[in-house]
Structure 1
Amino acid sequence: MKRVAVAFMLFSVCSALPAYGDFARAREAYLMKDYPKALKMFMNEDDQASLYMIGYMYDHGEGVAQDGKQATEWYAKAADKGSVKAMYRLGVMYSNGYGIDKDLTEAKKWYKKAAFKGFLPAKEALKRLEEGK
């Protein structure tokens, strides 16, 4: 029974490695400013980090035309998978009305979600929003 448990653990760890390797290669392409390659690689993944990076690339116009609406959509996908940074960026997008209608209630919702998970920039943004700054 112990051998089965060990074999299962090893299989679980090994099956997770290719996914990490794919993200690492996509991130490497991004850092080398090979944005088309990075974007294609990120789009082949469905993990929160890859989805966040696609949103970030649309947000900043890296390898694609800058598009706040697209950025918001990709950040939302990443946030749905638990990305705290994506939750925070959604708060920023709604707070500023970048690519979407400005909605301070929605901004507050996303800042709260990220703040609840301990993301300090979200806590600070939420405080500023509540103070009306």
Structure 2
Amino acid sequence: MKKNLLLSIGMLFMNFVFGQNADELNTQSKELLNNRDYEKALPILRKSAELGNAEAQYNLGYFLQNGVGITKNEKEAFEWYKKSSENGFNDGHYAMMMAYGNGIGVEFDGEKAFEYALKCANNNDATCMWNIVNCYKQGLGVPKNTNKMLEWATKLSLLENPDNLNLSGNITSTRLSLAYMYRDGYNLEKDYYKSYIWFLIYNEFKKDFSIIQQNQIIEEVKVAESKINKKQLNTVKEDAEKIFGRKLMNFDNLHKADF
């Protein structure tokens, strides 16, 4: 009698779960996953993925890749990442980039990794944009291209700094790299004025750097100032704001470290 009762309860649970649509199942699976109830969560997650929810497809791939609550299977993980990417989910693009770039569940393919990195970067994903800059800079999965590298470095540099310290650091580092590239003429013509503009833009969120690094860069900023004329000094803030697309809020602290 008890066994039949348990079976009936189980059937009611399954009918309730699998009568829901993909989005509802995905939401339910995330609630269970947050509580680390993998035994209940993963069947629901898989059903949501099978019904076409792109986030669920990515999440199922993640658990399969890492063997969390389920037997590790990198090849199956890759297939779910691919479905997620095909459905336009940005984390799916990112996972495919990493899969091809590191040979996870599929053979290494630098060109494919770049292809998915580009899809991800086109969604203004700072990590993928950072990777695109380095791909064009070093010729990884794509021929070296200074113009394309500068184009993507500029796009990345103009993003607003998020709360995530790693992502914010990538953005601020790219701003500083542009200042150095124009200062040193790295694969392009030296332009001290453009260099100084990017030093000003870097300055907006220099707190991403240590105090020691900031103080070193302040000395470089002072040298950069000596390379441009008085007229340029009078217009540089306005020109930097035009490029940045917003007001410079930290300009008065240019020669001070941020804590």
TM superposition score category, shorter chain reference? 0.7 to 0.9
Counterparts of residues 56-71 of structure 1 (less than 5 Å): 56-71=62-77
The amino acid across from 1:68 in the alignment is: E
Aligned counterpart, 2:35: 32
Aligned residues: 117
The amino acid across from 2:104 in the alignment is: Y
CA deviation map 1:78-101 (0-9, x unaligned): 111110011011001100111210
Moved over 6 A (4+): none
The one of 50, 53, 69 equivalent to 1:47 is 53
The amino acid across from 2:34 in the alignment is: L
3-state SS in 2 of match to 1:82: coil
- Give the distance between the partners of 1:18 and 1:97, measured in 2 at CA: 34
Query: Greater share of helix residues, 1 or 2?
Result: 1
Unaligned runs of 5+ in 2: 1-19, 141-259
The amino acid across from 1:39 in the alignment is: L
- Give the distance between the partners of 1:100 and 1:112, measured in 2 at CA: 19
- Give the distance between the partners of 2:35 and 2:96, measured in 1 at CA: 27
Q: Which protein is bigger by CA-based radius of gyration?
A: 2
The one of 130, 135, 147 equivalent to 1:129 is 135
Higher relative contact order (CA 8 A, sep 6+): 1
| TM-score, scaled to structure 1 | 0.79
Aligned counterpart, 1:96: 102
3-state SS in 2 of match to 1:44: helix
CA deviation map 1:38-58 (0-9, x unaligned): 221111112111111101111
The amino acid across from 2:37 in the alignment is: D
Task: Tell me whether 41-50 or 30-39 shows the greater mean CA deviation.
Answer: 30-39
3-state SS in 1 of match to 2:55: helix
CA contact under 8 A between 2:99 and 2:113: conserved in structure 1? Answer: yes
The alpha-carbon distance between structure 1 residues 100 and 20, as it changes in their structure 2 partners (threshold 3 A), is closer
Instruction: Tell me how large the CA RMSD over aligned residues is.
Output: 1.9
The one of 98, 115, 127 equivalent to 2:121 is 115
3-state SS in 2 of match to 1:38: helix
